[in-house]
Structure 1
Amino acid sequence: MGNLLIYLLFGSSQIDSSMYPFNKKQTPKRHVSMLLENFILQASNLVTNLIFENMTSLTSLVNFLSKYKLCSSSYLSARSAATLLNNLMLQNLVYLYIKQPRDIYSSRYKILLIHQTGLQMKYIYTCRSADIRKLSSGKCIFISFLEIQDLLIPKLEKNLLILCKILLYIFINIIGSSIIFIIRIILSSLNSKL
C-alpha cells in the first residue's frame, strides 16, 4: 500500500530502485493499476472484517446479512454464520503464520485483481528484506522450516527415485526370471510327454 501512495503522490521517482525488477523511470502503467485494484479489494476486505468483528452475536450477524441481502436466505442461520466466522478466522491464521512469512521470504507480494470470471490472485516480485527483519520469532521458525524443506526434499526425492528404480529393476528381474522358469517347466513337461 505504501508504494501505491508513493506512486500516486510523487510518481515513480521516489520508489526504491531495488524494490521492483524494472527500471523505476519506466514503471509499467499496468503495474500501478494492479496495485490500485489490489488496494481497493484489500480495503473492502478490511472493512468487511471490521464489520464482522464488531458484531456482538451470531444473531446480529445473521440480521446484518439478511438486512443487506449479502447472502442467500438458505445460509441465514446461526450455524452458517458461526461456520463463516470460523472459516474467516482460520484463513486469517493461515495467512498470518504460513502464507505471509512464505511470501516475504520469497520476495513476492500477493495481489488480488478483478477479472471477468471473478477475483484473481497474482504474485508480483518486490524486495521484502525490510519485512523479514520485522517478522516475529514464530514466523521466523516457519521460515526455518521452509529452509529445511528446501534443503531436504530434493535429496529425499532423489533418493526415493533411486530406491524406486532399484525396486522396479528387482521386481522386473524376479518376474522375468519367474516367467522364464515357468515356461521352461512347461516346455520340459511337454517334451517329457512326447
Structure 2
Amino acid sequence: MISNQNIIKYWPNQPSIKLNHAVVDLFIETERKLILRTKNKSNEYLYLDILNIITKTELLQTILSELKELILDIIEINLNSKTIVKLNRKIQKIFINRVSKKFFFKFRYSETKLNTIENLNENNLADYLLTYLIFGSSYIEEKIFLFETLYTPYNHVRVLLENFIIQIANTITKRLIYSLNETANIHQFLRKQNISNKLYTSSRTIVLFLNNLKWQNFIKSQIYDIKSLYSERQKVLIFSTEGIITKNIYMSNNNKIKRVNNISLIFLFWLEIKDLLIPKTEKLVIQIAKYLLYCLINLLSNSILILIRILVFYLNK
C-alpha cells in the first residue's frame, strides 16, 4: 500500500477548472498561515520587522487579497504569458502602488508621499508566480527550475506565492521607511500609529536596525547574489510553523549572468577557478602530506633501530 506522504501533488499545467480549484485551495491555505506565522525566524533582517505582528499580518493579508484582484484583472484584459513576463516590472509597480494605497489609507498617509519604486526586488519571482496561477505550469520555460514543467510540484508554487507576499510586504515597508527619510520621522510615525515592533521603539534602536539592514544588503548584493548566480540557487522566504524562514530553491540563472557587471564577472570567474583548482590542490596537498608522513615514519623507525643497535653494542662490551 502506497503511503499518502509519498504521493506528490502536481500543479495543473493548463488553464482549466482544475487550475482554478488549485489556486483557490492555495490561497485558502496561505490565508490560514498568515494568522499565526508572520514572526521573522530567519537569520536575516527584514524591513518588515519594524512593524508589530498585527500590522505585519494586516499588510500580508492585504497583499494576498490584492493579488486575487490582480489575477482577475489580468484575466479580464486577456494578457498572455509572454506579455506578463515582458511587463513584469510595470505590473509589480502598479500592484505595489495599489497595495500601498489601500494599506496606508487607514493611517491617513497618502501613497503619493511614498518614494517612487526604483529598484524592484527580483527575488519575488512575480512573473513565474503569475504564470503558474493564471496559465499553469506548461507555460513556464523549460529548465528554469529543477523539474519538468509538466510535473511541477504543488508545493513549488506554494513557495513562490509565500515568497512573493513576504517580499512585496518588505518592499512596501522599505518604501515607507525611506519616504519618512529621517529617523525622528520614522519613530514618530510608528509611535503615533501604534504599529511599531516593541524591539524598535526608540530612535537609537531604529538607527541600529536600519544600519544592520544596509550592511546586510551590501553584503548580499556584493557577495551572496553573485554566489547564488554561480550555484544556481535562489533564496526565498516562506511561512513555517515557527514563522518566516528562508529556503533555497534551484533556479537557472543563465539570463541573469549575461546582465552582470564586470566586477561580478570577475568574481564569478574566480569562483570557477576556485572550484577547479581547490579540489586538485587538496589532492596534491594530501599526497605531499602522505609522502612526508611516510618519510617521517621511516626516519623515526630507522632512528629507533640505530639507537637500539648502539645500546646493544655498548651492553655487549
Q: How does 1:38-49 map to 2 (within 5 A)?
A: 38-49=163-174
Give the direction of change, closer, same or farther, for the CA distance of 1:177–1:117 in structure 2 (3 Å limit). farther
1:68 aligns with 2:173: no
Corresponding residue for residue 25 of structure 1: 150
Aligned mate of 2:213, from 71, 81, 88: 88
Corresponding residue for residue 144 of structure 1: 269
Range moving further from structure 2, 14-23 or 34-43: 14-23
Q: CA RMSD in A?
A: 2.7
Offset from partner CA, 1:13-56 (integer Å, 9 cap, x none): 32112322323223211110011011112122223332333343
Give the direction of change, closer, same or farther, for the CA distance of 1:188–1:41 in structure 2 (3 Å limit). farther
1:104·1:128 contact (CA, 8 Å) conserved in 2? yes
Q: What is the percent sequence identity of the aligned residues? A: 36
Corresponding residue for residue 122 of structure 1: 247
Unaligned regions of 5+ residues in structure 1, if any? Answer: none
- The CA distance in 2 between the partners of 1:48 and 1:42, in whole Å, is 10
Q: Secondary structure at the match of 1:21?
A: coil
Q: TM-score, normalised by structure 2?
A: 0.52
Amino acid at match of 2:293: L
Amino acid at match of 1:174: L
Range moving further from structure 2, 93-102 or 46-55: 46-55
Aligned mate of 2:138, from 13, 21, 34: 13
Offset from partner CA, 1:103-132 (integer Å, 9 cap, x none): 223333221222223433222222221111
User: 1:171 Cα deviation (Å)?
Assistant: 2.6
User: 1:90 Cα deviation (Å)?
Assistant: 1.8
Offset from partner CA, 1:138-160 (integer Å, 9 cap, x none): 22121111112112211211111
Give the direction of change, closer, same or farther, for the CA distance of 1:175–1:30 in structure 2 (3 Å limit). same
Give the direction of change, closer, same or farther, for the CA distance of 1:190–1:123 in structure 2 (3 Å limit). same
- The CA distance in 2 between the partners of 1:24 and 1:45, in whole Å, is 29
Q: TM-score, normalised by structure 1?
A: 0.81
1:113·1:121 contact (CA, 8 Å) conserved in 2? yes
Where relative contact order (Cα < 8 A, 6+ residues apart) is larger, the structure is 2
- The CA distance in 2 between the partners of 1:180 and 1:98, in whole Å, is 56
1:109·1:124 contact (CA, 8 Å) conserved in 2? yes
User: 1:61 Cα deviation (Å)?
Assistant: 4.2
Corresponding residue for residue 177 of structure 2: 52
Unaligned regions of 5+ residues in structure 2, if any? Answer: 1-124
Count of aligned pairs: 190
- The CA distance in 2 between the partners of 1:93 and 1:17, in whole Å, is 32
Corresponding residue for residue 98 of structure 1: 223
Amino acid at match of 1:84: F
1:169 aligns with 2:291: no
Corresponding residue for residue 69 of structure 2: none
Q: Secondary structure at the match of 2:144?
A: coil
